[in-house]
Every structure is written in structure tokens, then in C-alpha cells.
Amino acid sequence: MQTAGSIGVFDSGYGGLTVLKEIVKKLPQYNYIYLGDNARSPYGNRSFETVHQYTKECVEWFFNQGCHLVILACNTASAKALRTIQQNYLPIHHPNKRVLGVIRPTTEVIGNFTKSNHIGVLATTGTVQSNSYPIEINKFFPNVIVHQQACPMWVPLIENNEHNKKGADFFVKEYIDAMDKQNPNIDTVLLACTHYPLLLNKIKEYTPIGTKIITQGEIVANSLKDYLQRHQEIEALCSKRFERDFYTTDSTDDFDKHATVFYGETIASKLARV
Ligand code: DGL
């Protein structure tokens, strides 16, 4: 008989908190453990091998905390590490545990938002290079044309709390203009990085009027709800005491200061030794 555990939610840093916030709104009854690998973030410009290794270590950490289900609330980790973890690592080391990502739930629905069949995907360099979004979107929506734009300066701006300042406008405009140049018919823009909702107001300012801007939090929350309904064996292993625990691999003081902006509530984090 296995003991129930919290649902793990992982990000390289703070971004996954924008996803956790929506998950908690939809499914408040479960216990959640959040881990931000702040000491090693950003992941967005690191190699496949490095992102895979870091993500695997963090997943192992969640399992040691008693989690049976872990959500990679990070597009870069989902793009570069999830498949290998699901296909090669879990079957050998943890056949009864589950790790899910944010790309599949997003690509299942994103095509429903566009009328022009041109979607812009704003993401980290790593996510863009992996080509995961065009490949996965076209499985569900073969007529949709995906235009990817890497935005390497956005995560550093957000992680350094510079995203609301005037200087951020330069890089927001720069990448939005570059995306628009790829195709003027883009009518739907996906923020395919869990940090980017923090830049939403500025992104709206520079995208053509009428463009739909899609964030992932609610999409991932709906998909998790559906997953737990379909997988009762996993659902039964998720503790339901409305508890939340927050961990970071770096300074807890820094985490607590920054995290409120992403999560919308005060947080008291603990140090994780991954
Ligand atoms: N939040 C992560 C994502 O969704 C990226 C942050 C990073 O570069 O570490 O891709």
C-alpha cells in the first residue's frame, strides 16, 4: 500500500508559479509542492544535456518528498527533458510515478483560437530550437502555420524584476516586431514560457489590436483536472489537505521577495538540496 503525497510543480525559477496559481484555483483540495531551481536558472539557453540532467535531478527530489505526480511547469524543461524522462527514466527507475509537461495540453487546444491559421509562439531559445511547438501543434491542427520567435532577454528581465520598467519596452517591442515580420496574418500569440505572463501588459501594447494572446496557466489546470479524472489510480495517491509548500534551490529570502509577484500571495519558502 503506497502513501499519498503532494502533487509536484516544477520550474527553473519563478515562472511555474503562474501555472501553480491557476492549478490551485481549479483544484484547491490537493497538496502541492513547488520547486524553483533558481540556483541554476535560466534554463532557456542551456544545452539539451544540461536541461535534461537538471530536470531529472529535480524530478528525483520530488519523488524523495513522496510525490507520485510531477508537473514540469516549464516549457524549456518540457521541451528538452520530458520525453526522455517519460520514455527512458521512469520505466526503469519509477514505473509507478508520473511526470507531465505543459506543451501537450497547450498544443491540444491552441488551434481552436485562430481564425487565420497563423499562430505566433513566443518562447525561450531552447524551446524554439527544440521545435516542439510546431511539431506538436501540427499533430492536432495540421492546417495551422506556426511562427516561432525566441525572446532570450525576457526571462532575465523578469528574474531581475526589471519587467515593469521602461527599459523592458525595448526588448518587448524588438521580439514582437520580429514575430510580426515573419507573417502579418498572425492572429493568435502563445506565451510559451511560464515567465511571460508577467510581461502581458507590455506584450499587449506592442501586438496589433485584435490579436489573441494566450497564456498557459488555465489550459494546464484544465488538463490536469481532466488527467486526474481519467487516472483514478494516480488521483488516489494525491493528498487532499489543501496544503502548499514552496522550495527553492537558492536564497529563500530572494525567492519570497520575488515569488509574490508571480503567485499573487505571500510565500515562505524552504531551501531544497537537490
Ligand atoms: N519558465 C521557463 C519556461 O517556461 C523558462 C525559464 C528559463 O529560461 O529558465 O520555458
Give residue 161's pLDDT band: very low, low, confident or very high (50, 70, 90). Answer: confident
> Which ligand 1 atom is nearest residue 127's CA?
10
DSSP state of 236: T
**Residue 67 and residue 6 in contact, taking contact as beta carbons nearer than 8 Å:** yes
Write down the pLDDT at residue 131: 95
Write down the pLDDT at residue 95: 96
Instruction: Calculate what percentage of the chain has a pLDDT beyond 70.
Output: 100
Asked if residue 1 has pLDDT above 80, the reply is no
First vs last Cα of the chain: how many Å apart? 27
Q: How far is the CA of 72 from the centre of ligand 1 (A)?
A: 10
**Residue 136 and residue 121 in contact, taking contact as beta carbons nearer than 8 Å:** no
> Which ligand 1 atom is nearest residue 13's CA?
9
Write down the pLDDT at residue 154: 95
**pLDDT tens figures, 227-240:** 999 999 999 999 99
Write down the pLDDT at residue 83: 94
Across the range 217-235, mean pLDDT stands at 97
Report d(CA 155, CA 160) in Å as an integer.
Answer: 8
C-alpha cell at 113: 483560437
Domains, the chain: 7-101+218-271 (3.40.50.1860), 104-215 (3.40.50.1860)
Residue having the nearest C-alpha atom to atom 8 of ligand 1: 44
**pLDDT tens figures, 68-123:** 999 999 999 999 999 999 999 999 999 999 999 999 999 999 999 999 999 999 99
Q: How far is the CA of 195 from the centre of ligand 1 (A)?
A: 6
Report d(CA 145, CA 116) in Å as an integer.
Answer: 9
Which residues lie with the beta carbon below 6 Å from any ligand 1 atom?
A: 11-13, 15, 41-44, 74-76, 124, 127, 155, 193-195
**pLDDT tens figures, 22-68:** 999 999 999 999 999 999 998 888 999 999 999 999 999 999 999 99
Across the range 146-151, mean pLDDT stands at 98
pTM above 0.85, yes or no: yes
Rounded mean pLDDT of the chain? 95
Across the range 174-181, mean pLDDT stands at 96
Write down the pLDDT at residue 159: 83
Write down the pLDDT at residue 234: 97
Asked if residue 160 has pLDDT above 90, the reply is no
Report d(CA 81, CA 121) in Å as an integer.
Answer: 20
Across the range 195-201, mean pLDDT stands at 94
Write down the pLDDT at residue 231: 98
Across the range 148-164, mean pLDDT stands at 91
Write down the pLDDT at residue 218: 95
**pLDDT tens figures, 65-78:** 999 999 999 999 99
